[in-house]
């Protein structure tokens, strides 16, 4: 019987076939740092790392980027965080502008980012980090924002195909962070067709900004994602179950990049959850019941952590033991 090809090699082959000959292949992963980045989120990173290595083994050059979506709004506050009342004042503002409740970093976003960035090299994972707050504040996406605003009708039609309640005619695929109250409780009321938008905020403020000079105009998530595929020329990016549902953000992103840029979406791979045996129930960042990569490394050697993820296909759920079964995992590894 022929030996089955290893899943990461299979994906590498698919990438080369679908994306054609390229000087360099771009493999991407990313997350909004809104709660502790846990071992389930790590699955996305290690999936990309394994595929990037498979591409390199096939003689290809690879750029592995990890996007910190820290310019996203603070939606809710994880229940396990201290200083809940202080944090509540920052709801609706960029996570990067939210103070660090542990008081050891410049922001809450940075606290979460550094926590993961410290651990990744221990398991041999070294991506190039991209901080979206920096990209937006230096107006890196001005041309892309213009393209998307000009294509707002096309985008609205794509998104409405999957919505129960259609987006209204005066909808725009972007929002501004208010210069006065800092939140995104705003609505674009006018677009000049080029680089200038006028917004009105719930707080009463109204302003006209040129988004080549002002980084406070941000694309909506479902538009932001395909825009960045285009901007970074992404060839491969996996996604969690929540993005992979029919009509989900992956589906609409695929249609948007085709319609707006006439480009094909990157090769995709859905990855399933990681269950922690001994934790009792599902991991959840919002209630703070999680196991991080750092926690896992207190139990397992780095090479065993890599082996646990590498030996299961991404589409399959698997569990990591934190109870007496740990010894069995060690035994299996050294067999
Ligand atoms: Zn901190
Ligand atoms: Zn405001």
Among 190-194, 297-301, 318-322, whose mean pLDDT is lowest? 318-322
Please tell me the predicted confidence (pLDDT) of residue 2.
56
SS3 for 159-179 is: HHCCCCCCCCCCCCCEEECCC
Q: From ligand 2's centre to the CA of 143, what distance in Å?
A: 25
Q: From ligand 1's centre to the CA of 81, what distance in Å?
A: 12
Cα separation, 34 vs 22, whole angstroms: 35
Q: From ligand 2's centre to the CA of 175, what distance in Å?
A: 12
Is the pLDDT at 1 greater than 60? The verdict is: no
Is the pLDDT at 322 greater than 90? The verdict is: no
Q: From ligand 2's centre to the CA of 100, what distance in Å?
A: 23
Say whether 174-219 and 7-140+272-334 share the same fold.
no
Domain range list for the chain = 7-140+272-334, 174-219
ipTM for this model = 0.98
pLDDT in tens, 20-45: 999 999 999 999 999 999 999 999 99
pLDDT in tens, 243-271: 888 999 999 999 999 999 999 999 999 99
Q: Tell me the residues surrounding ligand 1 (ion) with CB < 5 Å.
A: 100, 102, 104-105, 111
Ligand nearest to the CA of 111: 1
Which CATH code for domain 7-140+272-334?
3.40.50.620
Please give the C-alpha separations between residue 251 and each of 62, 92, 162, 225, 243, in angstroms, as whole numbers.
25, 26, 10, 11, 8
Which CATH code for domain 174-219?
2.30.30
Q: From ligand 2's centre to the CA of 134, what distance in Å?
A: 22
Please tell me the predicted confidence (pLDDT) of residue 3.
64
Closest CA to 230 of 206, 200, 253: 253
Q: From ligand 2's centre to the CA of 200, what distance in Å?
A: 8
Is the pLDDT at 276 greater than 80? The verdict is: yes
Ligand nearest to the CA of 113: 1
pLDDT in tens, 117-158: 999 999 999 999 999 999 999 999 999 999 999 999 999 999
Please tell me the predicted confidence (pLDDT) of residue 129.
98
Q: From ligand 1's centre to the CA of 106, what distance in Å?
A: 7
Cα separation, 318 vs 312, whole angstroms: 7
Token pair belonging to 282: 């599902």
How high is the mean pLDDT of the chain?
95
pLDDT in tens, 42-54: 999 999 999 999 9
Q: From ligand 2's centre to the CA of 144, what distance in Å?
A: 25
State what percent of residues in the chain have pLDDT above 70: 99
């Amino acid at each position: 019987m022929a030996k089955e090809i290893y899943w990461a090699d299979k994906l590498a082959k698919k990438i080369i076939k679908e994306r054609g000959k390229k000087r360099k292949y771009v493999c991407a992963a990313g997350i909004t740092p809104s709660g502790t980045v846990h071992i389930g989120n790590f699955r996305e990173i290690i999936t990309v790392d394994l595929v990037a290595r498979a591409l390199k083994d096939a003689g290809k050059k690879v750029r592995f980027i990890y996007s910190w979506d820290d310019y996203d709004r603070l939606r809710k506050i994880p229940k396990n965080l201290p200083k809940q009342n202080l944090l509540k004042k920052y709801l609706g503002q960029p996570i990067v502008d939210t103070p660090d409740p542990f008081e050891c970093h410049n922001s809450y976003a940075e606290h979460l980012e550094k926590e993961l960035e410290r651990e990744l090299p221990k398991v041999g994972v070294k991506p190039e980090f991209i901080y979206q707050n920096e990209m937006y504040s230096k107006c890196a996406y001005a041309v892309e924002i213009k393209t998307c605003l000009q294509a707002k009708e096309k985008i609205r039609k794509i998104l409405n195909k999957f919505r129960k309640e259609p987006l209204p005619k005066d909808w725009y695929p972007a929002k501004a962070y208010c210069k006065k109250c800092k939140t995104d409780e705003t609505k674009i009321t006018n677009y000049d067709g080029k680089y200038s938008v006028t917004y009105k905020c719930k707080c009463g403020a109204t302003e006209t900004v040129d988004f080549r000079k002002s980084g406070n105009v941000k694309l909506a998530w479902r538009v932001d994602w395909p825009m960045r595929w285009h901007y970074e020329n992404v060839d491969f990016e996996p996604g969690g179950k929540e993005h992979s549902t029919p009509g989900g953000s992956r589906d609409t992103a695929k249609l948007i990049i085709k319609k707006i840029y006439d480009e094909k979406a990157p090769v995709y791979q859905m990855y399933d959850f990681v269950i922690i045996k001994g934790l009792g129930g599902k991991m959840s960042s919002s209630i703070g019941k999680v196991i991080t990569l750092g926690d896992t490394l207190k139990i397992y050697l780095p090479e065993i952590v890599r082996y646990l993820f590498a030996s299961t296909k991404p589409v399959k759920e698997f569990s990591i033991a934190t109870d007496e079964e740990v010894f069995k995992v060690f035994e299996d590894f050294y067999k």
